[in-house]
Amino acid sequence: MASNATALAFLGPVGTYSDEAARAFAARLGLENPEYVECTSFDEVFDCVDRGKCEYGVVAKENALEGPVTATLDNFAFKSSAVILGEEVVDIHHCLVCHPDARLEDITSVASHAQGLAQCRRFLAEKLPGRATIVTSSTADSARMAAADIHVAGIANELAAQTHGAVVREREIEDHFGNQTLFALIGRQGHEPVFTGDRYKTSVALFLREDRAGTLNMILSEFAYAGINLSLIQSRPTKQSLGDYMFFIEFEQSVNDLAVQTALNCLRLKLREVKVLGSYPVL
């Protein structure tokens, strides 16, 4: 199946932070009239890439407040052969969005994704106390609801408000400033690099032969001996048996560096599998 070279799959609907990330990647790629394919889950985004429906996919990797996105990690580890081609950091700024004719006193309920509501508790308590809350499937859905009902306010980004016809009443209403989400651009295994740069990051998944004492220390020792400084190490259950784990590792060097190749080859002799998830330039 030939993929659409200008198509990017993302977690919809239109107006989500994933949509914002997809547009940022399309601009960096220099795509003319890109096609944005809305998906209902990160699983579907990976499937669009693996099956060749889309050239690219956009998935969230990590949030500054919530940590790693497990659905993305599990797809990389257990379901997909897609690789990471690049990363994009999106600042998460929540806005209170309303019907164009709505006043604050008209608002009887506030809608948003559960995380959006949780991340704006202080604002809601101070400016809209006692209002009912409605949990939606996405922040973008709350903007759509607000645009259609004068009594409902949404918590979403400006893109969602513009897309669905709502207006922004208050900006940056989040409790914690500095909230960011790291998104990955993914492509099919073997995809040619799409970005260039002087600094590289490599992501790998490590699967153990058996769970025994000292295994993690052995892994860390191989990287330390090669002079590789790890920037992330995350364990995830293999879903095969209780207490059986694998590890995600990231470091800021290219997989083409001799020291990296040596370390990974040594680990391949000692582990069940070393899966390179991508080696890509970082901003």
What range does the domain containing 123 cover?
95-170
pLDDT per position as a tens digit, 118-169: 999 999 999 999 999 999 988 999 999 999 999 999 999 999 999 999 999 9
Q: Which of 23-32, 84-93, 229-238 has the lowest mean pLDDT?
A: 229-238
Per-residue confidence at 3, pLDDT binned at 50, 70, 90?
low
Per-residue confidence at 215, pLDDT binned at 50, 70, 90?
confident
Question: Which two three-digit tokens encode residue 201?
Answer: 């990051």
Percentage of residues of the chain with pLDDT beyond 90: 75
Nearest CA-CA partner of 62 in 188, 239, 209, 250: 250
Is 195 inside any structural domain?
no
CATH number of the domain enclosing 10: 3.40.190.10
Listed in sequence order, the residues at least 6 apart from 84 whose beta carbon sits closer than 8 Å to its beta carbon are 184, 185, 186, 203, 277, 278, 280
Return the bridge partners of 150, or none.
Answer: none
In whole angstroms, how far apart are CA 89 and each of 22, 92, 104, 130, 206? 11, 9, 32, 34, 25
Residue appearing with tokens 């940590």: 67
Is 23 inside any structural domain?
yes
Question: Which two three-digit tokens encode residue 29?
Answer: 């790629």
Q: 46 and 183, same structural domain?
A: yes
Q: What is the pLDDT of residue 209?
A: 79
Q: Which of 161, 187, 213 is the last residue of a domain?
A: 187
CA distance linking residue 136 with residue 12, whole number of Å: 13
Q: 183 and 164, same structural domain?
A: no
CATH number of the domain enclosing 213: 3.30.70.260
Q: What is the mean pLDDT of the chain?
A: 91
Can the peptide bond before residue 13 be classed as cis, meaning omega within 30 degrees of 0?
A: yes
pLDDT per position as a tens digit, 74-105: 999 999 999 999 999 999 899 999 999 999 99
Q: Summarize the confidence of residues 196-214 as an average pLDDT.
A: 86
Q: What is the pLDDT of residue 216?
A: 85
Is 248 inside any structural domain?
yes
Q: 217 and 107, same structural domain?
A: no
Q: What is the pLDDT of residue 5?
A: 74
Q: 77 and 125, same structural domain?
A: no
Q: 99 and 79, same structural domain?
A: no
Residue appearing with tokens 């956009």: 58
Per-residue confidence at 237, pLDDT binned at 50, 70, 90?
confident
